[in-house]
Structure 1
Amino acid sequence: MTENLTGDIDIVLDLRGYRPTVTEAKDFGALWDQLEPALVGRDLSASPVFYLDTPSDGSVGIQIARLRPGGAGAVRPETRFNVVAVRERPRLRYRCRVCAGQGTGTYGPFVCPECRQGGADDRICDEHVVVLAGALTSTCPEHRPGCAHGGCPAPATFRCAGDRCRRRTAWCDAHRRGHPSDPDIDYCRACYDVHFPVCEEPSCRGVGTVACEFVLETATGRQCGRRSCTRHAHRWQVYGGERVGLGLCRQHRGRHGMTADDVLAQIVVASAVRRPAMRPPSLAGFAHNLRNADHRRLAVDYPAINARLAGLYTELKRTKVRVRDADRHLAAWNRQVAAENSASAEGERILERLRALVRQYDRRYGEPIAASLRLVQYKAATAQRPGLLFVDVAEELRGLFAGKGRRHLIAYSDQLGLQVRLEGGGGRR
């Protein structure tokens, strides 16, 4: 037998049937002294595996891993061998503590943290390990946790997935509440009520998945928080139809009597405290919400809206509410004000053309109507719609200006190549 890989034959020794323990180099040397004479004269190319029996110590398997090219034939005394691997009986290093107490030896792949903390043998086999549903935390039978509910004598059967318990606290089946749609997740009663509160609507037992985001304290961002199910929840679409609006409960969904500053503060603060934070609407979006809250004159005054928002942002710097990207919001609104001013200048030019048309179409009342006309807002045409000219006129002249069946408005719109709409009187027409 050689110690390098220059021999004629590479072999693997199989000692799993050999009773003596072979660990030291001298033990291998003595074993080889017994095997080598039995190999001389054998043709090892005839069979890749064969076994040599010893008188009293069992058998040794020999597997041919490699024969030197041209080295086939009977083994001669000068033939050199390389032992490239040795197969031994497995040794049980991690013995199950429970099985050891019963006089048997079983592999223990699991660890009991309680035993380890106490300095005891901590290994447990797969038959005696206790793993409760909800977490891959193993314990021995003696340290199986009991139900965390005070006074409950039952052993625990699962670990709660709630934010308070965090899959550490264990409970019994009597105190289990299953996830509404995932059968693999369970909660204790307290955590379930936090994750899946009952809808605030009387007699409704639906899960309150929508929290009311009405801001009760601007300085702290504290919100109402009442919960409603999707059937009874109300959304304040402050961002338009493309983003999810603010959730509101029964008490706050009306929003009656809100001042203009209240509307702006509700939208800005609620957007800031959302997780993740939401970008506030454009000035046009704020104008739409102000109009719905009966602040129509302010709704068409973009510079005034912008000034109020700038003042609100300055006030919020002294509170606990942190508005993300505040400078970018203010810069965007300033650009929108500049664009609105430019549109207003164009709107005034179109208004003069409208006044001339009114005088031309209505010889009797055209002059007082034209003198009463006031520009509210002009919106340039887009790819989706024509230009819009919103105007206001004295209340007693509104019917005369629009004409029967809005005949005059339609004629003015056709002549100007845009839509002329009346502002006020309960809305835009």
Structure 2
Amino acid sequence: MSGEVELVLDLRGLRNAPTTPDGFAELWDAVEPALVGRDLAQRQVHELHGPDGSVRLEVARLPHGTGVVDHDTRFAIVAVREQPYLRYRCKHCEASGETGYAPFVCASCPRDDAGGRVCDRHVVILDGALLATCPDHHPPCQECGAPAVFRCAGRSCRRERAWCAAHRRPHPRDPDVDYCPSCYDDVFPRCEAPGCTDIGTVRCEHVSRDLHRCGQRMCTRHARRWQVFGGERVGLGRCGRHGSMRGVAPDELVFQIVVGASARKRKERLPSLQGFAHNLRNSGHRDLALDYERIHRLLDVVGREVSRDRAAAAAISETRPVWARQLAGLASTSQEGRRLVDRLKSLIVAHDRRFGVEVAAAIELAEYKPPIQRDGVVTRRATLFVKVPDHLRGRFIGPRGQNVQAYGAGLGVDVKIEGGRRP
């Protein structure tokens, strides 16, 4: 440990305290000889008086064995206490004969202007941004020139442009955020349905074949959601003009799903082959919905068409191996479906001796869905969908569904008519 006596020099009693290194050195040259002969161990604070006032010396650390100061005693000044002084002064306070501390720097005053400092009474900080200005540079409204009261949080203004209260548009849910009229309309556009004044939170995601997006804004009351991804994900937004997909050509339907899904900021997985089949079925293409090989070929055709759209082409390329595996699995499933239909025909003939031969000859396989198991537990029974001519459906179902229930029990699966009544 050092053998120096550590002192705190308190200069608040001096009328002309030093402010420079040379001044402090000169002061110490006068103080140090006056300490010779003093016993520093007697008390912690020692005072020296002179014509310019007094100097207090506080003993911060006294080495063991040190007592009376002699010419060989070494000192270390570890701190200096001085009278506080105002370094940054507010020019607006001084203009009125007052003195005020100015912690803020006006963003509009020249950087080399010391007068750009402002106190907390004269500083101008508009709502929306912690940007300080002095009263001389109070921002005017961008539109009318009146004194501004806030800075717009919109993408165009970026909290830099200032606006008056007359041009203030508050955020619908956040009271601390405001917009100018144009930025508000950009962030919260009006619904484009005639006569509607609600906010158009849904953008139409229809894309033309030359890759132009509709983009029409609709409120939740007038917008439609095309649930192409399943119920747990938000469907594609559609305006009134593009809302109905009933009867849309298969290639157009697949095109809209692929391009619409890939254009989203948050990447969406393209539907499975079964997902495309479901959408085709809902649009009226029941036969195509049962032909997964045709759906797979249709996806190849659409994939070539959207190759000029980078996002859509990437989505197709990423999902193509998945579709290939699904198609292979569906081929095996279809084989099992044909086997079940053959057994079903035998059951029909045996069960209905009057009309069984006619009904059995008329039915065809529509689709077979194998059972779903999770953790060894069947969560959905296998289902066999068959095509039955309209004039034979009643005979196939039987009184109160007795026939079709018997067929299902014999096969160990649920038997249903494709596109018709459910037993």
TM-score, scaled relative to structure 2: 0.90
Conserved in 1, the CA contact under 8 Å of 2:169 and 2:179?
Answer: yes
Q: CA deviation at 1:192?
A: 1.3
Taking structure 1 as reference, are residues 47 and 104 closer, same or farther at Cα in structure 2, changes over 3 Å only?
farther
Q: Which structure 1 segments of 5+ residues have no match?
A: none
Aligned residues: 418
Cross-structure match for 1:129: 123
Q: Is the 8 A contact 1:219 1:320 kept in 2?
A: no
User: Which residue of the other structure, out of 20, 24, 27, is the alignment partner of 2:23?
Assistant: 27
Whether the 8 Å contact between 1:129 and 1:139 is mirrored in structure 2 is: yes
In structure 1, what is the Cα distance between the partners aligned to 2:260 and 2:24? Answer: 79
Whether the aligned pair in 1 keeps the contact of 2:246 and 2:282 (CA below 8 Å) is: no
Deviation (angstroms), 1:316: 0.6
Q: Which residue of 2 aligns with 1:85?
A: 79
Hey, what's the Cα distance between the residues in 1 that align with 2:41 and 2:223?
83
Matches within 5 A, 1:178-217: 178-201=170-193, 204-215=196-207, 217=208
Of all paired residues, the percent bearing the same amino acid is 49
Post-superposition offset of 1:221: 4.5
CA distance in 2, matches of 1:410, 1:377: 18
| Structure 1 residue aligned with 2:148 | 156
Letter in 2 for 1:338: A
Task: State the match for 2:32 in structure 1.
Answer: 36
Please list the CA deviations of residues 49-85 of structure 1 after superposition, one character each: whole Å capped at 9, or x if unmatched.
3433322x222221211011232x4444543322223
The one-letter code sitting in structure 2 at the alignment partner of 1:424 is G
Over the aligned positions, Cα root-mean-square deviation in angstroms equals 2.5
Paired residues of 1:220 and 1:320 also in contact (CA < 8 A):
no
Name the aligned partner's letter for residue 14 of structure 1: D
- Letter of the aligned partner of 1:346 in structure 2? E
Give the corresponding residue for 2:265: 275
Q: 243-252 or 299-308, which moves further after superposition?
A: 243-252
Counterpart residue number, 1:144: 138
The 8 Å contact of residues 246 and 284 in structure 2, kept in 1 or not, is answered as no
Rounded to whole Å, the distance in 2 between the matches of 1:11 and 1:58 is: 19
1:402 is aligned to 397
| Contact 1:160 1:188 survives alignment (8 Å) | yes
* Equivalent-residue separation in structure 1 for 2:345 and 2:125 (angstroms): 84
Partner residue in 1 for 2:55: 60
Aligned equivalent of 1:412: 407
5+ unaligned residues in a row in structure 2: which ranges?
374-378
**Counterpart in 1 of 2:376?**
none
Change (3 A) 1:181 1:285: same
Letter in 1 for 2:251: D
User: Aligned pair in 2 of structure 1 residues 100, 236: CA closer, same or farther (>3 Å)?
Assistant: same
1:377 aligns with 2:373: no
For the residues of structure 1 that align with 2:4 and 2:219, how far apart are their CA atoms? 83
Do the aligned partners of residues 392 and 193 (structure 1) sit closer, same or farther apart at CA in structure 2, a change above 3 Å counting? Answer: same
Contact 1:219 1:319 survives alignment (8 Å): no
Change (3 A) 1:380 1:322: closer
> In structure 2, the residue corresponding to 1:12 is in which secondary structure?
strand
SS in 2 for 1:308: helix
Compared with structure 1, are the counterparts of its residues 256 and 373 closer, same or farther at alpha carbon in structure 2 (3 Å cutoff)? closer
Distance 1:59 1:329 in 2: 87
Deviations 1:18-76 (A, max 9, x none): 23353555533432343234434444334433433322x222221211011232x4444
1:45 to 41, 44, 55: 41
- Asked whether 1:294 is paired with 2:294, we answer no
Deviation at 1:409, TM superposition (A): 0.9
Paired letter, 2:122: H
Report the Cα distance in structure 2 between the residues aligned to 1:80 and 1:396, rounded to whole angstroms: 118
SS at match of 2:342: helix
Kindly provide the CA deviation profile for residues 274-328 of structure 1, in whole angstroms up to 9, marking residues without a partner as x: 1123111111111111111110011111111111112111111134664444322
The separation in 1 between residues aligned to 2:24 and 2:112, in whole angstroms, is: 42
Counterpart residue number, 1:227: 218
Alignment of 1:216-255 (within 5 A): 217-229=208-220, 231-255=221-245
Instruction: Verify the 8 A CA contact 2:154 2:183 in the aligned structure 1.
Output: yes
* Cα 1:24/1:200, change in 2 over 3 Å: closer
Whole-angstrom distance in 2 between the partners of 1:268 and 1:190: 33
Deviates more, 1:139-148 or 1:92-101: 92-101
* Alignment partner, residue 175 of structure 1: 167
The whole-number CA distance in structure 2 between the counterparts of 1:78 and 1:405 is 119
Distance 1:118 1:7, change over 3 A: closer
Structure 1 306/48 Cα, relative in aligned 2: closer, same or farther at 3 Å? farther
**1:287–1:300 Cα contact (<8 Å) kept:** yes
Stretch moving more, 100-109 or 286-295: 100-109
